[in-house]
Amino acid sequence: MIKFLDLQKVNLQHQAEIEAKILEVFRSGWYLLGEKVKSFEHNLSHYIGSKYAIGVANGLDALRLILRAYIEMGVMKKGDEILVPSNTYIASILAISDNGLVPVLVEPEINTYNIDISKIVEKITPKTKGILLVHLQGRIVFSDELKEIAQKYHLKVIEDNAQAIGAQWQGLKSGNLGDAAGFSFYPGKNLGALGDAGAVTTNDEELANTIRALANYGSNQKYVNIYQGLNSRLDEIQAAVLDVKLKYIDHENTIRREIAKRYINEIKNPVVILPENPEHENEHVWHVFVIRSEKRDDLQAYLTENGIQTLIHYPIPPHQQEAYKEWNNLSFPISEKIHQEVLSLPISPVMDTMEVTKIIEIVNIFKILK
């Protein structure tokens, strides 16, 4: 069986280094908000090019904390609207509604799966205060037009960079394109911890300080509380592991690009729609490689029978989830089509050439069964 993602193999690439760092933390007797977190924050902000990086407990918290900080700063208030792609992972939307803000869904482009920038303006109302840009699947979504819209309507641009660490747009890294960005280091992400972990990057000092306090019980001085905060810390052990793996992220993303290139050049099957190549190679880090087919379920079953594990990102669009009942009768035809037709093929830095070749061959001989 070719696994969708062999996480054990991914992490064993760096076994000696990671084990040594974990042992250091264990023996140090210091487990939270110490040197390892400081070092990782420093290295992450340097990598992204942002002034500040703040380690937090997970990716959802990173996004929740950014919006919560804007509320504490008086930039947003409950009831304000945040634009977000209608086909994103549910966490992007949860971060908005959890803060009493209103998610306003915008349809994606069918060819990139990212928010359709040309459909943003029609959704803007006097209550719109921000855009949560999701670089879905690892593909950057950004443009000068988007920057102009944000400036004209005074919208904060918040990046959900959970899937796209390392991607670049005109020499800038994702996570440094807008006003603030949330990262997830969930084990299966391109930069994955050995448990939950996340971070926020920004160039805004006030925002950085507010988030740091909010994530620490609303306090920036022990036992003095300025906000009704939460506890959202990045562990020393996770920070130490991430610091090791950050050194290899560019190399690992390069391998993902090589696999994507082979899939795009060599998969030739009329019932399979391939993802569009980005204009510039480094705009995409291929967190997942998503194909589309009207016969998706048959294709998935066929691949399973032939020893290839695939996943569906994602089977149910947010507006059809029970959690958002108030949206269940709305129609987002592009999202619905995407959710019905997408299938993610294995892609990872530890796949070998033979595995990629086998996947291409099997996909190419799939025929529609009448």
Ligand X SMILES: *Cc1c(COP(=O)(O)O)cnc(C)c1O
Burial-class residue 253 by CB neighbours within 10 Å (0-12, 13-18, 19+).
Answer: buried
Size of the site for ligand X (CB under 6 A): 15
Tokens 């016969």 found at: 295
Of residues 184 and 348, the one with the C-beta less far from ligand X: 184
* C-alpha distances out from residue 5 to 28, 138, 238, 312, 348, Å: 33, 16, 20, 13, 6
Residues 197 to 216 in contact with ligand X, rule: CB under 6 A: 198
Closest by alpha carbon to 259, among 237, 288, 235, 239? 288
Gap between the Cα atoms of 131 and 146, Å rounded: 10
Confirm or reject binding of residue 184 to ligand X (CB under 6 A). yes
**For ligand X, which residue of 47, 169, 186, 289 counts as binding (CB under 6 A)?**
186
Confirm or reject binding of residue 310 to ligand X (CB under 6 A). no
Confirm or reject binding of residue 137 to ligand X (CB under 6 A). no
- Taking the complex as a whole, the smallest distance from the CB of residue 60 to ligand X amounts, in Å, to 4
Of residues 114 and 176, the one with the C-beta less far from ligand X: 114
Gap between the Cα atoms of 327 and 318, Å rounded: 9
Confirm or reject binding of residue 162 to ligand X (CB under 6 A). yes
Q: Which stretch binds ligand X (CB under 6 A): 148-156, 158-166, 318-326, 352-360?
A: 158-166
Here's the x/- map for ligand X, 211-240, by CB under 6 A: it reads as: ------------------------------
- Taking the complex as a whole, the smallest distance from the CB of residue 57 to ligand X amounts, in Å, to 8
- Taking the complex as a whole, the smallest distance from the CB of residue 186 to ligand X amounts, in Å, to 4
Confirm or reject binding of residue 160 to ligand X (CB under 6 A). yes
Confirm or reject binding of residue 285 to ligand X (CB under 6 A). no
The answer to whether residues 217 and 229 touch, using CB atoms and an 8 Å cutoff, is yes
Confirm or reject binding of residue 163 to ligand X (CB under 6 A). yes
Burial-class residue 30 by CB neighbours within 10 Å (0-12, 13-18, 19+).
Answer: exposed
Confirm or reject binding of residue 138 to ligand X (CB under 6 A). no
- Taking the complex as a whole, the smallest distance from the CB of residue 134 to ligand X amounts, in Å, to 5
Tokens 């998969």 found at: 267
Of residues 149 and 199, the one with the C-beta less far from ligand X: 199
Confirm or reject binding of residue 345 to ligand X (CB under 6 A). no
Residues 26 to 85 in contact with ligand X, rule: CB under 6 A: 58-60
Of residues 92 and 344, the one with the C-beta less far from ligand X: 92
Give the distance between the most distant pair of CA atoms in the chain. Answer: 69
Confirm or reject binding of residue 134 to ligand X (CB under 6 A). yes
Of residues 139 and 212, the one with the C-beta less far from ligand X: 139
- Taking the complex as a whole, the smallest distance from the CB of residue 245 to ligand X amounts, in Å, to 15
Of residues 318 and 346, the one with the C-beta less far from ligand X: 318
- Taking the complex as a whole, the smallest distance from the CB of residue 29 to ligand X amounts, in Å, to 27
Confirm or reject binding of residue 91 to ligand X (CB under 6 A). yes
Q: Strands 156-160, 180-184: parallel, antiparallel or unpaired by DSSP? A: parallel
- Taking the complex as a whole, the smallest distance from the CB of residue 294 to ligand X amounts, in Å, to 26
Gap between the Cα atoms of 39 and 181, Å rounded: 19
Gap between the Cα atoms of 114 and 320, Å rounded: 19
The answer to whether residues 112 and 164 touch, using CB atoms and an 8 Å cutoff, is no
Q: Strands 172-173, 168-169: parallel, antiparallel or unpaired by DSSP? A: antiparallel
Burial-class residue 181 by CB neighbours within 10 Å (0-12, 13-18, 19+).
Answer: buried
Please name the residues in contact with 29: beta carbons below 8 A apart, sequence gap of 6 or more.
none
Confirm or reject binding of residue 108 to ligand X (CB under 6 A). no
Look at the chain and count its residues.
370
Chain residues that interact with ligand X, rule: CB under 6 A: 58-60, 88-89, 91-92, 134, 160, 162-163, 184, 186, 196, 198
